[in-house]
Amino acid sequence: MELINLYLIPGVVLGCIYALGAIGLSLIYGVLRFGHFAHGDVMTFGAYVTLSAVALLGVSPLAALPISILVTALLAVIIDRLFYRPFRDSPTIVVVIASFGVALMLRSLVEIIWGADDQSYETGIRRPITLFDTLVIAPRHIAIVLAAVLLVVVLHIFLTRTRLGKAMRAVSDQPHLARICGIDLDTVSLWTWVFGAGLAAAAGLFLAIDTELNPNMGWNLLLPLFAAAILGGIGKPYGAIAGGLVIGLAEELSSFPLFSERPLVPPDYKTGVAFAIMVVMLLWRPQGLFRGRVYG
Amino acid sequence: MSLLAVEDLRAGYGDTVILHGVDIEVEAGELAVIVGPNGAGKSTLIKAIFGVVSTQGGRVRFGGDDTTGASPERLVARGMAYVPQERNVFPTLTVAENLEMGAFTTRGPLAPLLDAQYALFPELERRRRQLVGEMSGGQRQMVALARALMTKPKLLLLDEPTAGLSPKVMAQVFGYIRAINQAGIGVLMVEQNARLALQIADRGYVLAAGRNRFSGTGADLLANRQMAEAFLGG
Ligand SMILES: Nc1ncnc2c1ncn2[C@@H]1O[C@H](COP(=O)(O)OP(=O)(O)OP(=O)(O)O)[C@@H](O)[C@H]1O
Ligand SMILES: [Mg+2]
């Protein structure tokens, strides 16, 4: 039971957060062909937007999620116009470095607006719910998982049911053929940023609900996010969901005291687990765990 | 007046010139075939006509208008469609989604367009929910043709539609192309299998090193001794 309550459930929660962030990385890579190193800081920004929305409107963090998604998506679209689009025809490394610059700028922006100290949403502590006498779940964990599932369903409907969503998959599949079909890359990339940044805002908010707000919170997550995206096969958003869950669970379960009193891997080295999985994947199956059927 | 008239077309990549003045004509509803050795510039010619390779000189007229250097979107809107030699389907999309992407720029209901393709390729209707990446070479070529037909083109540009197919499937694909042509759609096709292609062609062109070498009706070219020795293996 301790395994489920203290390791499995937090692992799933962390996995949902990683998944939402990694989906954005994968979408952006698929359509625009570069690793977006500012993605973690976009998450941070989204979490802080929620902080302000909660303070201004007096609503709960989850109720402020749509506002945070909209503001963060708008910010990402502006960043793309200013810092990425001018380099679209340059070598990839140029855009990658631009995204590093954006990461630093975003973090400074957060520190200027909201300060550098740790903060948290004023939610009041709610007692965990006990199910079947032994299963202890915090309400915030239930909320995070449900909200993450809802967002993934929305993304799925967009990608498989709308003309624009299908075009996004087409561009990421065969950019040349997409061009021959007259698919407009500017429109597709706009919606890629809206979804990528919107989901990152949600991931940032969930992470802040689960822990606390800090200007470095998103940057620190960049490694597991990339690990998750690579595990799922970068450019494949559905793979990123699975990748996120696997990395989240692996990180939490790795500190389970399986053989002795002591954790399998000391909790300080959690990120090392993500890194190890990423390196193994890159060596063994750089195309990711899944082949072919990634779009359901 | 011909549907497509290419006059003295020069084109290439950057500073490299590949086409040194090529002339091609296709009448409405005709099936024209371009043959020639590897690297002759056949794909480059098709791409230059479709606006994906920039032209360096000469003229392209389509449907009576000067379309030299026009963008693919404009050409599609005017009734041209193009099936590239490689990567001509979206493998991670379903058959129906591939066709839908073909009609991306056309407004109005999709269903009649889809029905028209399914009437021509009944097998695609049965497989409409299947991912194209899971399909055989011949089936993919069907998807590629159907995708291009979604915009109701007057002229279809095909770059080696039978490359890598078994003889049996190749004959099948030639059958489809004839059916499309008999429905009144002009076809300009590059083909490696020169003999087979010229047999069904109204008009043929032999291209070598970026220049016209022979041209005439399909039958003329097949009967030409010099041409046969140089390009059809005797
Ligand atoms: N993107 C490109 N950049 C530079 N040169 C190119 C490019 N594509 C083709 N070429 C060159 O242009 C020449 C003509 O190529 P093209 O593909 O038009 O020939 P082809 O007649 O279609 O040959 P094949 O029968 O092999 O398809 C070749 O020498 C090729 O190396
Ligand atoms: Mg070619």
Tens-place pLDDT, residues A157-199: 999 999 999 999 999 999 999 999 999 999 999 999 999 999 9
Q: What is the mean pLDDT of residues A82-110?
A: 95
Q: What is the pLDDT of residue A124?
A: 58
Nearest to B232 by CA among B210, B206, B212, B211: B206
Helical ranges in A64-184 per DSSP H: 65-79, 92-114, 139-161, 163-173, 175-180
Answer whether residue A292 is part of any domain: no
Q: What is the pLDDT of residue A271?
A: 74
Contact A40, A220 (CB under 8 A): yes
Q: What is the pLDDT of residue A10?
A: 86
Output the residue whose Cα is nearest ligand 1's atom 26: B38
Distance A182 CA to ligand 1 centre (A): 24
Nearest ligand atom owner, CA of B210: 1
Answer whether residue A47 is part of any domain: yes
Q: How far apart (Å, rounded) are the C-alpha atoms in residues A80 and B111?
A: 36
Atom of ligand 1 nearest to the CA of B36: 21
Higher pLDDT, A138 or B10: B10
The nearest alpha carbon in chain A to B100 belongs to A163
Q: Which value, to the nearest 10 degrees, does the dihedral of the CA atoms of residues B149, B150, B152, B157 take? A: -30
CB-defined site of ligand 1, < 6 Å: B 13, 16, 18, 36, 38-44, 85
Q: Which residues contact B113 (CB under 8 A, 6 or more apart)?
A: B99, B103, B106, B150, B152
CB contact under 8 A, A163 and B133: no
Higher pLDDT, B8 or A132: B8
**Residue A269 predicted with pLDDT over 90:** no
Q: What is the pLDDT of residue A14?
A: 93
Answer whether residue A293 is part of any domain: no
CA distance A59 to chain B (A): 41
Q: What is the pLDDT of residue A153?
A: 96
The nearest alpha carbon in chain B to A235 belongs to B92
Nearest ligand atom owner, CA of B192: 1
Nearest ligand atom owner, CA of B54: 1
pLDDT tens, residue by residue, B67-113: 999 999 899 999 999 999 999 999 999 999 999 999 999 888 999 99
Q: Which residues in chain B are contacts of A170 at CB distance < 8 A?
A: 90, 93, 97, 101
Q: What is the pLDDT of residue A175?
A: 93
pTM of the model: 0.90
For residue A125, what pLDDT band results from cuts at 50, 70 and 90?
low
Q: What is the mean pLDDT of residues A232-247?
A: 88
Q: Which residues in chain B are contacts of A294 at CB distance < 8 A?
A: 92
**Residue A296 predicted with pLDDT over 60:** no
**Residue A201 predicted with pLDDT over 90:** yes
What's the mean per-residue pLDDT of chain A? 88
Q: What is the mean pLDDT of residues B22-30?
A: 96
Higher pLDDT, B198 or A128: B198
Q: What is the pLDDT of residue A9?
A: 83
Q: What is the pLDDT of residue B233?
A: 65
pLDDT tens, residue by residue, A18-39: 999 999 999 999 999 999 999 9
Distance B46 CA to ligand 1 centre (A): 11
Distance A155 CA to ligand 2 centre (A): 39
Chain centroid to CA A11: 15
Answer whether residue A252 is part of any domain: yes
B81 beta partners: B156
> Ligand 1 pocket check: which of B42, B45, B160, B162 to mutate, most ligand atoms within 8 Å of Cβ?
B42
Q: How far apart (Å, rounded) are the C-alpha atoms in residues B147 and B116?
A: 11
Distance B18 CA to ligand 2 centre (A): 12
Answer whether residue A122 is part of any domain: no
Atom of ligand 1 nearest to the CA of B47: 18
- Structure-token match 């030299």, residue found: B68
Helical ranges in B37-94 per DSSP H: 42-49, 72-78
Output the residue whose Cα is nearest ligand 1's atom 22: B43
Q: Which residues in chain A are contacts of B143 at CB distance < 8 A?
A: none
**Residue A263 predicted with pLDDT over 80:** no
Which of A26, A177, A183, A187 is the best substitution to test chain B (most B C-beta atoms within 10 A)? A177
Number of other residues whose CB lies within 10 A of the CB of residue A85: 14
Instruction: Count how many residues are written for chain B.
Output: 234
Share of chain A above pLDDT 90, in %: 61
Q: What is the pLDDT of residue A272?
A: 78
Residue A223, helix vs strand vs coil: helix
For residue B221, what pLDDT band results from cuts at 50, 70 and 90?
confident
Beta pairing class for B80-83 and B211-216 = unpaired
| Domain region containing A10 | 2-116+129-284
Higher pLDDT, B22 or A285: B22
CB contact under 8 A, A166 and B133: no
Answer whether residue A246 is part of any domain: yes
Residue B208, helix vs strand vs coil: strand
> Ligand 1 pocket check: which of B9, B16, B17, B44 to mutate, most ligand atoms within 8 Å of Cβ?
B44
B157 beta partners: B82, B188
Q: What is the pLDDT of residue A260?
A: 67
CB contact under 8 A, A177 and B84: yes
Q: Which residues contact B88 (CB under 8 A, 6 or more apart)?
A: A177, B140, B141, B144, B147
Domain count, chain A: 1
For residue A292, what pLDDT band results from cuts at 50, 70 and 90?
very low
**Residue B188 predicted with pLDDT over 60:** yes
Answer whether residue A123 is part of any domain: no
CA distance B232 to chain A (A): 32
CATH of residue A232's domain is 1.10.3470
Which of A162, A173, A295 is the best substitution to test chain B (most B C-beta atoms within 10 A)? A173
Paired tokens of A65: 């999620």
Residue B21, helix vs strand vs coil: strand
CA distance B75 to chain A (A): 10
- Opening angle at CA A4, ends A201 and A127, nearest 5: 65
Q: What is the mean pLDDT of residues A208-237?
A: 90
Output the residue whose Cα is nearest ligand 1's atom 2: B13
Q: What is the mean pLDDT of residues B181-195?
A: 94
For residue B222, what pLDDT band results from cuts at 50, 70 and 90?
confident
> Ligand 1 pocket check: which of B18, B159, B160 to mutate, most ligand atoms within 8 Å of Cβ?
B18
Q: Which residues in chain B are contacts of A179 at CB distance < 8 A?
A: 52, 72
Paired tokens of B158: 């095909």
% helix, strand, coil for chain A, step of 5: 70, 5, 25
Nearest ligand atom owner, CA of B34: 1
Helical ranges in chain B per DSSP H: 42-49, 72-78, 95-102, 111-120, 122-126, 137-149, 167-182, 194-200, 218-223, 225-231
Of residues B87, B92, B105, nearest to A176 (C-beta):
B87
CA distance A177 to chain B (A): 6
Contact A95, A33 (CB under 8 A): no
Q: What is the pLDDT of residue A136?
A: 74
CA distance A186 to chain B (A): 14
